[in-house]
Chain A
Amino acid sequence: MIPAAFDYVRATSLDDALARLAADDGAKVIAGGQSILPLMKLRLARPETLVDIGRLTELQGVRRLPDGRVAVGALTTYAAMIADPILGHYGLLRDALPNIGDTQVRNRGTIGGAIAHADPASDMPAILLALDAEVVARSATAERTIPITSFFEGAFDSALRPGEIITEIRLPGGRDDVGSAYSAIEQPASGYSIAGVAAVIGARSGDRWGLCAVGVTGVGEHPYRATAVEQAIRGGASVADAATHATDGITVASDIHADREYRTHVAAVQVRRALEAAAARLG
């Protein structure tokens, strides 16, 4: 449980960090360290250099953008998100954040680190998928915006390019006519989700829901939008019927805690529960 030797530099600014990444192929970014340090201790990750961006205050905090959307700095910790009054309006965040990791993880772990790591069972990707978030990434030469729906590409694999650092995540502004919820069944050892589902649903107009977005984690090769569920809901299906489409088109994961059959089943259960809870919040 001792990492291989590595160099360590503490970035003085975002530009400094980006310059160091651009100059060194063997460099990796460390923020809260909740993902990369365990991998390094097991010698599954062996970066030559760690560029520490953890103290860059410019990447911390939550603010409302002029267009009404909400920007969450990549280095905002789970604990800071729990305490933030703007984010407190999002029902699915209230459901999910207090159950992520433990106190120490929530104090150190960051939203940017969580999605950069792209763990296929992490909670935050499902939430951001359901919220249709945008990821802002910057390199030494350019800044770009990546829709969250095209961010996750595989297990521990994302659209982030070498040399890029996530700077912030943009969420739609909280709306009163939208309900959201997060529902998960956890793998009891790790606390990661066997199936975790974030649902955002808009008020009914006639017999149709105004909006439906469902993010699923822990089930497929990477977190995904359950588009078949969303289509069924928009097509007027009941929540129970729509939920049966939770894993349509998905290669469902299997491990010692949950095989394909069980994971497929509980994904549908959690989709139903998340949608019902989200709908209940519409009042």
Chain B
Amino acid sequence: MTTDMLGKSVKRVEDRRLITGGGRYVDDIKLQSMAYCAILRSPYAHANIRSIDTSAAKAMPGVLDVMVGTDIPYNPLPLAWPAGGSAGLQNNVNTPRALATDSVKWTGEGVAAVIAETPEQAFDALEAIVVDYEPLPTVVDAEKATQPGAPQLHENAPNNIVFDWTVGDKAGTDAAVDAAEVVVRQRIVNQRLIPNPMETRGDIGLYNPGTDEYTIWMSSQTPHIQRILLAIFVMGIPEHKLRCISPDVGGAFGTKIFCYADYVVVLHASKRLGGRAVKWIESRRENYQSTIHGRDHITYLEIAGSKQGEISAVRVKTYANLGGRLSTIGPGIPTTLYARVLSGCYKIPNVFAEVIGVYTNTVFVDAYRGAGRPEATYVIERAMDLFANEIGMDPAELRRRNFIAPDKFPYENPSGLGTASGGAKIYIDSGNYEPAMDKALAMAGYAGMDKAKAEARRRGKYLGVGLSTYIEVCGVAPSKWIGAVGEGWGAAMWESANIKVHLTGKVVVTMGTQPQGQGHETTYAQVIGHELGIPMEDIVVQHSDTQGTPMGYGSYGSRTSSVGSTAAIRAAAKIREKARRYAAHMLEASVEDIEVDGAEYRVKGSPDKKKTFQEIAFALDLAFDAPEGMEPYLDETAYYDTPNCTWPFGTHVAIVEVDEATGHVDLVKYVAVDDVGNKINPMIVDGQLHGGIAQGVGQALWEGAVYGDDGQLLSGSMLDYAMPRAAWFPHLELDETVTPSPVNPIGVKGVGEAGAIASTAAVANAVNDALKPFGIRHLDMPLTSQAVWKAMQSSKGAQA
């Protein structure tokens, strides 16, 4: 019986723990003498703070401390990724404060913190804090915020502009647009989303006065990065004085990458209390008001080409709403991760993008599942449909004519991937787009759509079909690219793995990556079991703690399977090589004569002369017979920096029916053919796709963060923010093509974001297709019943 589980749909080893209540999330952790923190949040979206009176709160029962902004020795949080890559580009930077000092810029910004014996006492005391606000005019729309006369948020950011960033060949693109036979223009809104991981955020700060060291438990995707940011850039201590522990994390979708104000509050609070642990747990309402939001772009799109369907240029101007202050990597998302991949899987020779980052009186915006790439995919995939409609060509045929051909890789795209600063160039290294599209079209019954549309009309429904032939840049990223100053976040992006083989041959793997529900404990065990020829059950995978795991940059950007697994494979190779050398010693053979077959180390030509991995581990651990110069014990670490990102692609097809009477959209069929390269665990890949597709469909049809003009978050809870529900989905029909990635030894690409990147455009295209009989060209998301019905009404009015 084989023990090699690589590529098999093994059930997840963490699920017994996670689904039977055995998980250990931040809020499950209760330390001795632990105090509780509650944060007072601004009811105004824009106001100056005249004064804060905490005296009554301090006298409340159980209250241990009340902190305001001026109690924090160094208050501003760091910005790790300004917009870069253009010479002389200026970022007008304003970052959040651990607690607000002189002003608030959005509803929900933290103003004061109460530390009390119980959470109830802490919440009660919040009501006794008196803040004297001077309300100021507000602006929540990014485009309006840049207009003359708009309320100004920051003195150093005239017209609320964070940056005005460009990429691509402006002159060439302008000329191509001017010369084109056909130019289609459209204003496209990619609405703001609230990410909604199942577990909200939370943290526990603990200061040890005896050692002058801090520990923080955090629901984070990036404990190692948080140690760097918090220690060096906020707390003013070296990294070895701060330990970051990220226990089980109940979903994140990007929201838990960043450096948040509450981390700073609980660390200082613990020190102020002489070392009592201080816990803060975010409520869902706070999560909506003070954890990052996603998307929120207003884009003016122009797509140009010939009547025969040859696309010659794409030109966009995008207003990216970044909120009231900048989140950790907020500016990087609408620049590098959006505009540099705007041309998608198409050989569009001229691309130019201008992105204006804007402050508004809203929560900060940062990376949310897909992070820039869903926004880019939505723009280019809507653009392809708009262009196809304009010239009367089938949208699938237009895509086919413009795909980058399979023999053109590595492909340097014109939207700036190849022109990044720091000398680093990134190429699309592989792809074969047409077979994936053909497979998806066949599965969807694309050829029979006219008949299906006619049949639906007889039932009072308008049927529509939509494509999304997406690519994504995953496995971020080579340090030479993302770490280049002014381009990425100014730090490295390598990964790490340590493998220790214990006396009994059992293996403990520690990783620098950080799961949030993806099943790393299963997939790494599959990879390492394959490499070392041992059963998965003999391997335990650990992570989450800066004390005890090698330095790594965490999990986001679909990078774990590509970058993390390669580090693990390299560590395993070192283990195997040392085991082989010791086997040679044990078998009195030369190293060159030892061949490795799974867990067996044999002398070539003498198959009975062999040692097992377990025998070698045992002997090396006892080490009484170690040869001269060989260290005891099997313990190896590998650090791995990838030469390139990975480039998953595929075609998603959505079929919807629109109810003529109410405008209600029903998703009736969904087909996805994804090429994520080789798969470590196909079941987990399917799960990632299911969740990602649902999130993307959520954006297309239901989700939207809505601010009133006064900056109040009207979609402030799940009663008003529509999360997708399982019952609203048809069976998701998944299939694949397999184009292994050339950048890592197992040919994987990553799949965490693919579904969310692809599905929004497919469903939006389908709804717009369904509305074509009404002469509707483009309708912005979310495509709610009301929005669709109103569009149909105004179109009927126009036709009458």
Contact = CB atoms under 8 A, between A and B. Distances in A.
B719 A189 contact: yes
Contacts of A2: 119-120, 123
Interface string B709-724: 0000011001111110
A5 interface: yes
Category for how many chain A residues contact B: 20 to 34
A61 B718 CA distance: 32
Interface stretch (A49-57, A122-130, A132-140, A255-263): A255-263
A104 interface: no
Nearest to B36: A2
B785 A185 contact: yes
Interface in B674-721: 702, 706, 714-715, 718-721
A188 B722 contact: yes
A257 B721 CA distance: 10
B120 A189 contact: no
A154 B723 CA distance: 29
Contacts of A83: none
A175 B715 CA distance: 44
A257 B786 CA distance: 7
B198 interface: no
B751 to A, nearest CB: 27
A96 B683 CA distance: 37
B285 A256 contact: no
By CB atoms of chain B within 10 A, which of A187, A188, A190, A257 has the most? A188
Nearest to A185: B662
Contacts of A82: none
Nearest to B38: A2
A256 B706 contact: yes
Interface in A236-283: 256-259, 261-262, 265-266, 269
B339 to A, nearest CB: 31
A258 B786 contact: yes
B283 interface: yes
Interface string A1-30: 110110000000000000000000000000
Contact of B720 (A5, A190, A269): A190
B789 interface: yes
A189 B785 CA distance: 13
B253 to A, nearest CB: 18
Given A2-B119, A188-B702, A262-B789, A257 B285 contact: no
A194 B719 CA distance: 13
A42 interface: yes
Contact of B715 (A4, A42, A256): A256
B662 A266 contact: yes
Interface string B165-181: 00000000000000000
Interface in B659-679: 661-662, 664
B722 A189 contact: yes
B729 to A, nearest CB: 13
A269 B718 CA distance: 27
Contacts of A257: 720, 784, 786
A257 B719 CA distance: 11
Contacts of B714: 256
B284 interface: yes
Nearest to B661: A269
Contacts of A266: 662, 785, 789
B24 interface: no
Nearest to A195: B662
Contacts of A188: 702, 722, 784
Contacts of A258: 786
B719 A262 contact: no
A5 B121 CA distance: 9
Nearest to B119: A2
B713 to A, nearest CB: 11
Interface string B366-397: 00000000000000000000000000000000
Interface string A179-213: 00000010111100010000000000000000000
A260 to B, nearest CB: 11
B790 interface: yes
B124 interface: yes
19 contacts: A1-B284, A4-B124, A42-B285, A185-B785, A187-B722, A188-B702, A188-B784, A189-B718, A190-B718, A194-B785, A256-B714, A256-B715, A256-B720, A257-B720, A261-B790, A262-B786, A266-B662, A266-B785, A266-B789
